[in-house]
C-alpha cells in the first residue's frame, strides 16, 4: 500500500513536535536539577540544614528521578516505534 503524502507530513510534524516539547526535560536536566535543588526539592533528606549546595542524599534522589525518566523514555520508544511502523 502507498502512504499518502499528507499522512507522512503529519507523522513527521507530530514526531518533531513531540521531541521539541518533551525532550527538553531529559536533555536539559543539568540546569533543571539546579533549579529543583534551589526550590528545595528533597530538602527533607538533608541532615545538615546549613549547607549551601546539594547534600548527597538530595543529589541521589534527583539522580534517581533522572534515571527513571531516561528509562521510561527509552522503554516507551519501542512500542511507539512499532505502532508507527
How does DSSP assign 24-63, residue by residue?
HHHHTHHHHHHHHHHHTTTGGG-S-TT-SS--HHHHHHHH
pLDDT in tens, 5-36: 888 899 888 888 887 877 777 778 888 888 98
Cell numbers linked to 31: 540546569
**pLDDT band, very low/low/confident/very high, at 63 (cuts 50, 70, 90):** very high
What whole-number distance in Å separates Cα of residue 63 and Cα of residue 45? 14
Q: How far apart are CA 51 and CA 45, in angstroms?
A: 12
Residues above pLDDT 70, as percent of the chain: 94
Single out the residue of 40, 66, 41, 45 nearest to residue 57, CA to CA.
Answer: 45
> What is the pLDDT averaged over residues 52-69?
87
For residue 50, name the pLDDT band (cuts at 50, 70, 90): low
pLDDT for the residue numbered 29: 85
Amino acid at each position: 500500500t502507498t502512504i499518502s503524502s499528507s499522512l507522512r507530513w503529519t507523522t513527521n510534524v507530530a514526531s518533531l513536535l513531540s521531541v521539541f516539547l518533551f525532550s527538553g526535560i531529559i536533555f536539559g536536566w543539568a540546569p533543571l536539577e539546579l533549579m529543583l535543588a534551589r526550590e528545595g526539592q528533597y530538602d527533607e533528606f538533608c541532615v545538615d540544614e546549613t549547607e549551601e549546595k546539594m547534600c548527597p542524599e538530595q543529589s541521589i534522589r534527583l539522580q534517581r528521578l533522572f534515571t527513571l525518566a531516561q528509562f521510561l523514555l527509552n522503554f516507551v520508544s519501542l512500542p511507539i516505534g512499532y505502532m508507527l511502523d
